[in-house]
């Protein structure tokens, strides 16, 4: 649902979370628990993880990659999984750098968020837009 004729308007979102929880999203963080999307389409395509997730990150070619793990089954260390994700990024990003990269970075974004959920009887992934910055 959106305001007809208003999809191009910017959206600012404030999220109140319990003290031990965090927020992960590709939207622009304005301040603690306040986020910005340039338009409705950007807002609708920016997934949110709001929980007590674990996070690891790495940097490659001018971009910071966040690996978010919300695991309610095994609560296992996901360091190897993050390392494998980093290897994939290191192989794939250079392939597209000539057409997608920006000044000082090989990808068209400064940050990228991988959101992983480990739940009983479910699995999979979904690609979302990441706003070039």
For the stretch 17-35, pLDDT in tens is: 999 999 999 899 999 899 9
Same domain, 7 and 57: no
Residue 84 is part of which domain span?
A: 53-121
Same domain, 60 and 101: yes
pLDDT band at 122 (very low <50, low <70, confident <90, very high): low
Residue 92 has pLDDT above 80, yes or no: yes
Residue 68 has pLDDT above 70, yes or no: yes
Same domain, 117 and 57: yes
Same domain, 34 and 65: no
Same domain, 99 and 76: yes
What would the DSSP string read from start to end of 72-130? SS-----HHHHHHHHHHHHHHHHHHHHHH-BTTBSSS-SEEEEEEEE-TT---------
Top pLDDT among 109 and 83 is at 83
Residue 133 has pLDDT above 60, yes or no: no
DSSP annotation of 31: E
Q: Report the DSSP beta bridge partners of residue 67.
A: 56, 114
Same domain, 60 and 48: no
Burial class (CB in 10 A: 0-12, 13-18, 19+), 27: buried
């Amino acid at each position: 649902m959106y305001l007809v004729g208003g999809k191009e308007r910017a959206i600012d979102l404030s999220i109140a979370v319990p003290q031990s929880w965090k927020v992960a999203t590709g939207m622009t963080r304005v301040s603690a628990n306040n986020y910005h999307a340039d338009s409705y389409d950007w807002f609708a395509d920016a997934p949110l993880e709001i929980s007590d997730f674990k996070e690891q990150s790495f940097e490659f070619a001018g971009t910071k990659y966040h690996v978010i793990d919300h695991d309610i089954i095994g609560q296992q260390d996901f360091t190897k999984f993050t390392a494998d994700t980093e290897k994939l990024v290191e192989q794939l990003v250079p392939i597209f750098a000539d057409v997608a990269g920006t000044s000082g970075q090989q990808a068209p974004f400064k940050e990228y968020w991988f959101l992983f959920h480990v739940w009983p009887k479910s699995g999979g992934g979904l690609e979302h837009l990441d706003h070039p910055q």
